[in-house]
Amino acid sequence: MIAMVVAVAENGVIGLRGDLPWHLPADLRHFKELTIGKTVVMGRTTFQSIIGRLGGPLPQRRNIVLTRDQSFRYPGVEAIHDLSSITSFADDVYVIGGAQVYAAALELTDVLYVTEVHTAVDGDTRFPVIDAAQWREVSRVRHTADAKNQYDYDFVVYERHP
């Protein structure tokens, strides 16, 4: 199975200057629950953002970076240079960004784990528009803003129509 995990604002924004444009600790916990012990695939910019935040790759996950740079090396991280190779992985793969990787991987994806953030924010990175006819919503859990999470948000799962 190939899945995408993304948090997206109502206006399609997913990032601002290499970071998330909101503060939603519950979404970060949800992301961790979905991806812990799994294979995560990301672009180099997303990887650099994670390194900047955590000081290393995502712990307790198989980290794979999609990059054109044939010389890319980082301890504990695998590099791939062709997205189509993820279809041959034996385990489930979770695509975690950024925008170019999402756009390229969308046609390979079976499941979308989307955090719909109920606001419009400024940003420089957007999630690609998905064809609603190709996906069906299988679950939605609504959450309201609170002292720790600044916006209302929904955890939504979409599966590709057969």
Q: What is the pLDDT of residues 54-97, one digit of tens each?
A: 999 999 999 999 999 999 999 999 999 999 889 888 789 999 99
Q: What pLDDT does 89 receive? A: 82
Percentage of residues of the chain with pLDDT beyond 90: 92
- Dihedral, CA atoms, 42, 46, 96, 125, nearest 10 degrees? -120
Q: What pLDDT does 162 receive? A: 82
Tell me how many domains the chain contains: 1
Q: How far apart are CA 29 and CA 31, in angstroms?
A: 5
Q: What pLDDT does 125 receive? A: 96
**Residue 47 pLDDT grade (very low, low, confident, very high; cuts 50, 70, 90):** very high
Task: Tally Cβ neighbours within 10 Å of residue 129.
Answer: 9
Q: Which amino acid is at 3?
A: A
Q: Which two tokens stand for residue 20?
A: 């998330």
Domain hosting 98: range is 2-160
- Mean pLDDT confidence for 120-138: 96
Give the pTM.
Answer: 0.95
Burial code of 50-84, b = ≥16 C-beta within 10 A, e = fewer?
beeeeeebbeebbbbbbbeeeebeeeebebeeebe
Q: What pLDDT does 18 receive? A: 87
* CATH number where 156 lies: 3.40.430.10
Q: What is the pLDDT of residues 4-22, one digit of tens each?
A: 999 999 999 999 998 899 9
- Mean pLDDT confidence for 133-148: 98
Q: What pLDDT does 7 receive? A: 98
